[in-house]
Structure 1
Amino acid sequence: MQARLFQLDAFTACRFTGNPAAVMLFVSYPDDRTLQALAAENNLAETAFVVPDGDDFRIRWFTPTLEVPLCGHATLASAAVVLERLEPARERVVFHSASGPLTVRRSERGYVMDFPARRCAPAEEPAGLAAALGASIEEMLWDGFNFVARLAAAGDVRRLAPNLAAIAEMPCAGVIVTAPGDGDHDCVSRYFAPGKGIPEDPVTGGAHCALTPYWAARLGKTDLRAFQASARGGELRCRLNGDRVELEGACVFFLEGVAQW
Structure 2
Amino acid sequence: MKLNIDIVDAFTSTQFGGNSAAVITTDTWLTENLMQSIAAENNLSETTFLVPVESGVYDIRWFSPLTEIAFCGHATLASAFVLFNKNPTFQQVTLSAPAVGSMLINKLDKGYIEMDFPSFAPKAIQDIPEALIAGLSIRPQQVLKNQQAYFAVYNSEFDVRAVEQSSEQLKQLAPFDVVVTAPGEIYDFVSRYFWPANGGDEDPVTGSIHTGLAPYWSIRLGKKELHAYQASKRGGEIMCIIDKDRVKLRGQAVHYLSGSIEV
Flag whether TM exceeds 0.5 (same fold): yes
Counterpart of 1:75?
76
Counterpart of 1:84?
85
User: Partners in 2 of 1:6 and 1:167 — Cα distance?
Assistant: 32
Residue among 132, 136, 140 paired with 2:135: 132
User: Partners in 2 of 1:150 and 1:21 — Cα distance?
Assistant: 28
The one-letter amino acid paired with 1:76 is L
> Is the partner of 1:128 in helix, strand or coil?
helix
Deviations 1:17-75 (A, max 9, x none): 10000101111111111111111111111111011111211110001111111100000
User: Partners in 2 of 1:174 and 1:62 — Cα distance?
Assistant: 16
Match runs of 1:38-117 below 5 Å: 38-55=38-55, 56-85=57-86, 87-98=87-98, 99-109=100-110, 110-117=112-119
User: Partners in 2 of 1:143 and 1:48 — Cα distance?
Assistant: 23
Q: Flag structure 2 segments of 5+ consecutive residues without an equivalent.
A: none
How far the C-alpha of 1:136 sits from its partner, in A, is 2.0
* Deviating more after overlay: 117-126 vs 8-17: 117-126
Counterpart of 2:196?
194
Deviations 1:56-99 (A, max 9, x none): 111100011111111000000000000012x1111010011122
User: Is the Cα contact below 8 Å between 2:142 and 2:154 reproduced in 1?
Assistant: yes
Residue among 174, 184, 194 paired with 1:181: 184
How far the C-alpha of 1:242 sits from its partner, in A, is 0.9
TM-score by length of 1: 0.97
> Is the partner of 1:252 in helix, strand or coil?
strand
User: Partners in 2 of 1:94 and 1:254 — Cα distance?
Assistant: 24
How far the C-alpha of 1:193 sits from its partner, in A, is 0.5
Deviations 1:189-224 (A, max 9, x none): 000010012211100011100001000011001100
How far the C-alpha of 1:128 sits from its partner, in A, is 3.4
Residue among 163, 167, 184 paired with 2:166: 163
> Is the partner of 1:7 in helix, strand or coil?
strand
How far the C-alpha of 1:130 sits from its partner, in A, is 2.6
> Is the partner of 1:210 in helix, strand or coil?
helix
The one-letter amino acid paired with 1:205 is G
User: Is the Cα contact below 8 Å between 1:147 and 1:172 reproduced in 2?
Assistant: no
How far the C-alpha of 1:173 sits from its partner, in A, is 2.1
The one-letter amino acid paired with 2:32 is D
How far the C-alpha of 1:145 sits from its partner, in A, is 2.1
> Is the partner of 1:196 in helix, strand or coil?
coil
Residue among 215, 218, 228 paired with 1:226: 228
User: Partners in 1 of 2:253 and 2:46 — Cα distance?
Assistant: 15
- How many residues are treated as equivalent by the alignment? 259
User: Is the Cα contact below 8 Å between 1:188 and 1:229 reproduced in 2?
Assistant: yes
User: Partners in 2 of 1:80 and 1:67 — Cα distance?
Assistant: 21
How far the C-alpha of 1:226 sits from its partner, in A, is 0.2
How far the C-alpha of 1:236 sits from its partner, in A, is 0.2
Counterpart of 1:142?
145
User: Partners in 2 of 1:252 and 1:49 — Cα distance?
Assistant: 19
Instruction: Tell me the C-alpha RMSD between the 2 structures.
Output: 1.0
The one-letter amino acid paired with 1:152 is N
* Deviating more after overlay: 211-220 vs 168-177: 168-177
TM-score by length of 2: 0.96
Counterpart of 1:7?
7
The one-letter amino acid paired with 2:61 is R
> Is the partner of 1:175 in helix, strand or coil?
strand
Q: Flag structure 1 segments of 5+ consecutive residues without an equivalent.
A: none
The one-letter amino acid paired with 1:235 is E
How far the C-alpha of 1:171 sits from its partner, in A, is 4.2
2:27 is the alignment partner of 1:27: yes
User: Partners in 2 of 1:2 and 1:218 — Cα distance?
Assistant: 50
